[in-house]
Amino acid sequence: MAKENSKFANYHDGQIPSDQISQDAFLAEVQQELTVSCALPFSVPPAEITRIIKYASKWFYKKYEYAVQERYYVIPQENFKKIPTFKAYGTIKLPDCIYSIIGVRQCADGFSLYNPLKSMPDFSLEKVLFKDIYSIDGSTEALMYATIYQYWIDLASHILFHPISYNYNTNSKELVFLGEVPQNDVVLTVYEELPIGYLMKDEIFFRYVCAKAKTQLSRILGTFAFNLPGGITVNYDLLRSEGQEALEKIEEEIKSDEGMDWFMTSGNDNK
């Protein structure tokens, strides 16, 4: 696990793939937005914009579905005997890029990650679960039956493959096993933080950072209360209101864009 941690640390701390945007390029874009391509003679210091990016990314990882990506992680069984913190406290330190865990399951002998039911000892159970699921037609009613079948399969997998009790804290990055000691490899279903270089390519994140920077710029200008050469007064209230309105719109946009698991059906109502 120590090697895995160092690998992810290097990936996030300098080894930026070519399709990511660098922080310097992103800072330049934000500065251009704040100064209207250098039309205004003031901006937010780069160090403050860097701090805004840091905490804006934390907010996005928590609220924005496209800031994280679902991944599988495997903990080999031998690690449970080697890691001192697990032997003493039942905890394992995970890579910093893992934001949350949505499932912890122990692999059975002959387990297949892509077909967990393959490892079931009784093939008759498989036949019951998958009965008729691949022979339905494309009608609305058949689609509804297929959804019910999939729901039943998911429910049955929770009964047949009992998950391991655990707790995970995103701040400490510690996975705590609360129940039995795993006897086989363990598969984690996690939400992994998107590398910041990809997040900075998202126009919603760009708008959010710019809005935050505008509110900070209005705070700077309002605190010192100075005029530009020629006696021109700075309207810092306009910057603050623009920033606040933009933040509210972005937060509402993200909230309304959350994915939904549903589909519409229609039928004739013959009464």
**Over the stretch 147-169, which tens digit does the pLDDT of each residue have?**
777 777 777 666 655 668 899 99
pLDDT digits (tens, 9 = 90+) for 20-56: 888 899 999 999 999 887 777 778 899 999 999 999 9
Res 194 pLDDT > 90 = yes
In contact, 197 and 16? CB cutoff 8 Å: yes
Percent of the chain with pLDDT over 90: 38
**Phi and psi (nearest 5°) for 31?**
-60, -40
DSSP string, the chain: -HHHHHHHHHHHTT---TTSPPHHHHHHHHHHHHHTTTTSS----HHHHHHHHHHHHHHHHHH-GGGEEEEEEEE-TTHHHH-HHHHHHSEEEPPTTEEEEEEEEEPPTT--TT-GGGG-S-HHHHHHHTTTTTS--SSHHHHHHHHHHHHHHHHHHHHHSPPPPEEEETTTTEEEE-SSPPSS-EEEEEEEEPPHHHHTT-HHHHHHHHHHHHHHHHHHHHHH--EETTTEEP-HHHHHHHHHHHHHHHHHHHHHT--------------
Res 254 pLDDT > 70 = yes
Question: Which of 99-103, 214-218, 265-269 has the least mean pLDDT?
Answer: 265-269
Q: Within 13 A of 213's CA, how many CA atoms are on the CB side?
A: 28
> Which comes out higher in pLDDT, residue 10 or 169?
169
